Amino acid sequence: MDQIIDPSSLEAGHIAYLRGIPAAVEALDMHGMADVVNALVVALLTEGHVLLEGNPGLGKTALVRALSSALGLGRQAVGRVQFTPDLMPADITGTQMPADDGSGRLAFSPGPVFCSLLLADEINRATPKTQSAMLEAMAEYQVTVLGKTYPLRHWREAGRQSYRTPFMVMATQNPIDQEGTYALPEAQSDRFMFKINLSMPGAEVMGRIIAKALKPLDAAQQRQGTAEDPVQVAAAGARLHEIAQSVLSVGLSPLVLDHINNLVQASNRHFDQLRGIGPARVSGLRELVERRVTYPLGPRAGMALARAAVGWAAAVLVEPAQAGHATTAQTPRALAEILVPVLRHRIRISHDYAAMATPHAEAAALDDFIRELAVACAPDGPPAAGRYVEDFANFLDRARKDIRL
């Protein structure tokens, strides 16, 4: 089916709906994760995937189920794969199996990847061969088994509307210094829109988590295993599709577009392709990149930054009453707030390991370098545009303090 919902302008109702999702997830006993929930929503709306890194027990597994329930997609929309060293690619994609009718013919038995929200739990505990089985699913929204291709997204009807079912991978991984982990291949890491580092919760949130563990199941939790109303699930899917189309129709600020281009070009040492940066600043940027960058950003980094910026502006920053062109005006701040989780798994730099006391120090140094590079790549902009570089640096500094991604 090639019928789609015509992209509509971003409406106040869309923004209000997006604003309510973190609170809906919080109501399902997922505490202290509002920023992470917002990032997941942005990825879902803009066809991205999310990589979560943190120690076991931080609620990564429960989060995707709570998000599905909050969106109205229901528990049936969630698939889960527990990655282990002996997991095979067919355990993810499915394979041909003898049919149930006793005819002896082979029929395709779909694997857990056939869902709307796939939780790839501890993805870096499997071997690289099995990890790479996710690549086609994440990039092409399909899997190929024994030469035949099967789509992961499907067109459905909701009343008079046609909508396409979503597909997003939320993968969790344990820190690479833990036993039994494998580093993700660069090509696979690049498929994730965000890499989010989950930190240990503070005392207040930890108290809520402990209280949740001691609380008996309430009626809502006991009903979680019951079948969802397919009409309501279809309506939720259609609404999500409509909002996604609207979000992706939002334009970037021209300065943000130049900024994203500068980040990609500078990391690849294409300094003659930079826009809006004077010779003196180019000289300092050249020194910074040539001294530190060992693996540059690719085109997917630029696409992810653009989509994440418009998605974050719509889902988090713009007020419902200002939906529309005001969303574009928020993209510089949005870029500052989502920059680090979009880039931290896509760029490599040299480190002074003598000064690195812990793996956390290395991760923090990488995040700091990304911020430094981003300020150095910010275009000056015309005088009428105001002080873009200074404003962006201020947004970046506030994001470091306020955004937990």
Q: What is the CATH number of the domain that holds 71?
A: 3.40.50.300
Residue 2 included in any domain: no
Mean pLDDT within 199-223? 68
Q: What is the pLDDT of residue 383?
A: 66
Residue 310 included in any domain: yes
Same domain, 202 and 295: no
Same domain, 130 and 22: yes
142-145 and 148-151 beta bridge pairing: antiparallel
Same domain, 124 and 188: yes
Q: What is the pLDDT of residue 3?
A: 39
Q: What is the pLDDT of residue 25?
A: 93
Residue 3 included in any domain: no
User: What pLDDT band is residue 53 in, cutting at 50, 70 and 90?
Assistant: confident
- How many percent of the chain have pLDDT more than 70? 89
Residue 358 included in any domain: yes
Last residue of a domain, one of 216, 248, 280: 248
Same domain, 229 and 352: no
Same domain, 359 and 220: no
Among 377, 370, 375, 379, CA closest to 393:
375
Q: What is the pLDDT of residue 240?
A: 93
Q: Which residue has the higher pLDDT, 246 or 210?
A: 246
pTM over 0.85, yes/no: yes
Residue 7 included in any domain: no
User: What pLDDT band is residue 177 in, cutting at 50, 70 and 90?
Assistant: low
Same domain, 237 and 261: no
Number of domains in the chain: 2
Query: 121-176: per-residue pLDDT in tens?
Result: 888 888 877 877 788 899 899 998 888 999 999 999 888 889 999 999 999 887 66
Same domain, 20 and 117: yes
Query: What span, in angstroms and rounded, lies between the C-alpha atoms of 214 and 205?
Result: 15
Q: What is the pLDDT of residue 183?
A: 77
Query: What span, in angstroms and rounded, lies between the C-alpha atoms of 353 and 399?
Result: 27
155-158 and 348-349 beta bridge pairing: unpaired
Residue 276 included in any domain: yes
Among 149, 178, 156, 203, CA closest to 53:
178
Last residue of a domain, one of 205, 231, 248: 248
User: What pLDDT band is residue 194 in, cutting at 50, 70 and 90?
Assistant: very high
Cα-Cα end-to-end distance for the chain: 38
Same domain, 17 and 69: yes
Query: 8-21: per-residue pLDDT in tens?
Result: 478 889 999 999 99
Same domain, 298 and 369: yes
Same domain, 219 and 272: no
Give the residue numbers spanning the domain of 44.
12-248
How many C-beta neighbours within 10 Å does residue 349 have? Answer: 17
Last residue of a domain, one of 203, 223, 248: 248
Same domain, 183 and 276: no
User: What pLDDT band is residue 2 in, cutting at 50, 70 and 90?
Assistant: very low
- The structure tokens listed for 23 are 């609170």
Look over the chain and give the mean of its residue pLDDT values, rounded to a whole number.
Answer: 87
The distance between the two most distant Cα atoms of the chain, rounded to a whole number of Å, is 76
Task: List % helix, strand, coil for the chain (3-state, nearest 5).
Answer: 55, 15, 35
Same domain, 284 and 210: no
Residue 1 included in any domain: no
Q: What is the pLDDT of residue 261?
A: 97
How many C-beta neighbours within 10 Å does residue 379 have? Answer: 23
Q: Which residue has the higher pLDDT, 189 or 223?
A: 189
Cβ(348)–Cβ(233) under 8 Å?
no
